[in-house]
Every structure is written in C-alpha cells, then in structure tokens.
Amino acid sequence: MGTSSTSVEIVVEDEHVAGTFLAPQSKVPGVLFVHGWGGSQERDLDRARGIAGLGCVCLTFDLRGHERGSARQQTVTREDNLRDIIAAYDLLAQHPAIDTSSIAVVSTSYGGYLSTILTTMRPVKWLSLRVPSLYRDAEWKVPKRQLNREDLAVYRGAPVTPEENRALAACAAFRGDVLIVESEHDHLVPHATIMSYRAAFRNSHSLTHRVVDGADHALSEKACQQAYTSILVGWVTEMVVGARVGAKSGRF
C-alpha cells in the first residue's frame, strides 16, 4: 500500500510556508484463512491475530460439514465447501477497511486445493498453500467422504499436470505471489503432489517453497506449528510491506 500526499500552507505570523501531508492510504489488505478437512478456524485464530497486527483485516471461518461426529460430514461435497469459501471471501471483500485489490488467502490441505479454484472466481493477490491436497476432477459433487482414498493415494503419488486437473489449471493461470509449505513426513500429501503444484505455477509473480523439517501433515508437534507460523508471518510481512513500499519493483 502506498501513501497519499496533500499540499498545504502553514501560516507563520504574517507569512505562508509550503508543506505536504503524507499519510497511509485508508484501505488495508485483507487475509482469508481456509482450514483443511476435518479442521476448524480455531488453529487459524492465533496466526490471524499476529497477521492482523501487521495492519491487515483477517477473516477465519468454519467450513460446513467439518465438525467431528457431524452427520453433515458424510454428505458435504467439494462444491458445497467451495461455495463456503466464496461466501467468506465476499464477506471479507465487503469490509469497509479492505483494499479489494490486496487480498490474500492462507489455506491448508483440502482448503488449499479449493482455494486454488477460488482464484479463478475471485481476485487474489497472494496465495499461501500449506500441504495442499489434490483430487481428481471426476465426482466433483460426490460427498467428500465417499471418494476412494486408495485411488487418491495413487493419484497424488505421481506427477499431475494442469492440463488434467482443475486446481492445477487454476495455479497455471495465477499471476500473484505464492507460498507453498511442505511437511517433511506427510503421509497424506506426498512430495510428488507438492511438486505438481510447484510446477503448475508457471505464471506466478513469485514462488516461495519451504519445508517444515520433521513435520507430519497435521503439524502435531508444537515446534512444527511454531516453525510454520514463523514461515507464514515472515512471508505475509514481506508481501504486505512490499505492497506498502510502493512502485519500486513496478508491481505494487
């Protein structure tokens, strides 16, 4: 975000001297947090509070059908949850303090997969994907719980191109800045999936790839959670500060 300037005259006794007010623009970046399958907004809240301290408006929310033991979890589809994300994005964009040209999406796993598709429907400037999962395009409206896990494991273990996957095609079209965070010991999202995502971002403005050493998919260890938080906050800080510094790079 840049600054606005206003020329003023300062009266000193019987004379006038020139002055210039410099002030930050009134609008601030917005950050949407999207959790993974079976998760909730709870873990995102602390990270959102930290990023809000950078001068951003953050929104966390719960995807439908993700409560443990909920009967809805057996019927919710990818289509349902994509609609949740779009609705949350639209609510964030309506916030009066938001600069709608500076919206970031911070996502995890299943939420990361759906967030890539969101970028084809709504403007996103910065996209963070932690352990983004990958699904076949087929059976889009079949309940998520009914998808074949063994088939997904095989699919994720081999290279997949944007030409054969909707989410990766969205990545190929994305022109903003990207952060991909991988867990070293991820049993659900293997290195091959991460590399499919990384290769798909052909047109991104920048791409940062980090690996959390010793981490599993869920970041079960507190040290791994802290490591991810450090990576995320550092990256968001770089993006937001870069936007505020202005046009030196020609992008912001």
Of 12-16, 40-44, 83-87, give the range with the top mean pLDDT.
83-87
CATH number, position 99 = 3.40.50.1820
Residues 6+ apart with CB under 8 A from 69: none
In a domain, 16, yes or no: no
Instruction: Give the model's pLDDT for residue 249.
Output: 42
Give the DSSP per-residue string, the chain. Answer: --EEEEEEEEEETTEEEEEEEEEE-S-EEEEEEE--TT--THHHHHHHHHHHTTT-EEE--PPTT-STT-GGGGT-BHHHHHHHHHHHHHHHHTSTTEEEEEEEEEEETHHHHHHHHHTTTS--SEEEEES-----STTTTSBGGGS-HHHHHHHHTS---GGG-HHHHHHHH--SEEEEEEETT-SSS-HHHHHHHHHH-SS-SEEEEEEETT--TT--SHHHHHHHHHHHHHHHHHHHHHHHH-TTSS--
Nearest 5 degrees, angle CA 165-CA 168-CA 172? 130
In a domain, 2, yes or no: no
Asked if 1 contacts 25 with a C-beta cutoff of 8 angstroms, the reply is yes
Tell me the pTM. 0.88
- Closest among 162, 165, 166, 168 to 180, alpha carbons compared: 168
Instruction: Give the model's pLDDT for residue 244.
Output: 66
Instruction: Give the model's pLDDT for residue 2.
Output: 57
Diameter of the chain measured on Cα atoms: 84
Instruction: Give the model's pLDDT for residue 25.
Output: 65
- Domain of residue 139: give its range: 27-244
In a domain, 235, yes or no: yes
In a domain, 9, yes or no: no
Interatomic CA distance for residues 130 and 112, integer angstroms: 7
Instruction: Give the model's pLDDT for residue 38.
Output: 83
Q: How do strand 206-212 and strand 28-34 relate by DSSP bridges?
A: unpaired
Interatomic CA distance for residues 101 and 18, integer angstroms: 33
Instruction: Please state the domain count of the chain.
Output: 1
Q: What are the distances in angstroms from CA 131 to CA 99, 118, 187? A: 28, 17, 11
Average pLDDT estimate for 237-252: 64
Asked if 94 contacts 110 with a C-beta cutoff of 8 angstroms, the reply is no
* Tokens 């606005």, residue located: 4
> Which tokens is 48 given?
């959102």
pLDDT, one tens digit per residue, over 30-71 is 999 999 998 888 889 989 999 998 889 999 998 988 766 677
In a domain, 110, yes or no: yes
pLDDT, one tens digit per residue, over 92-151 is 999 998 999 999 999 999 999 999 999 999 999 999 999 999 999 999 999 999 999 999
In a domain, 19, yes or no: no
In a domain, 224, yes or no: yes
> Which tokens is 30 given?
């917005």
Interatomic CA distance for residues 53 and 46, integer angstroms: 11
In a domain, 128, yes or no: yes
| Average pLDDT over the chain, rounded to an integer | 90
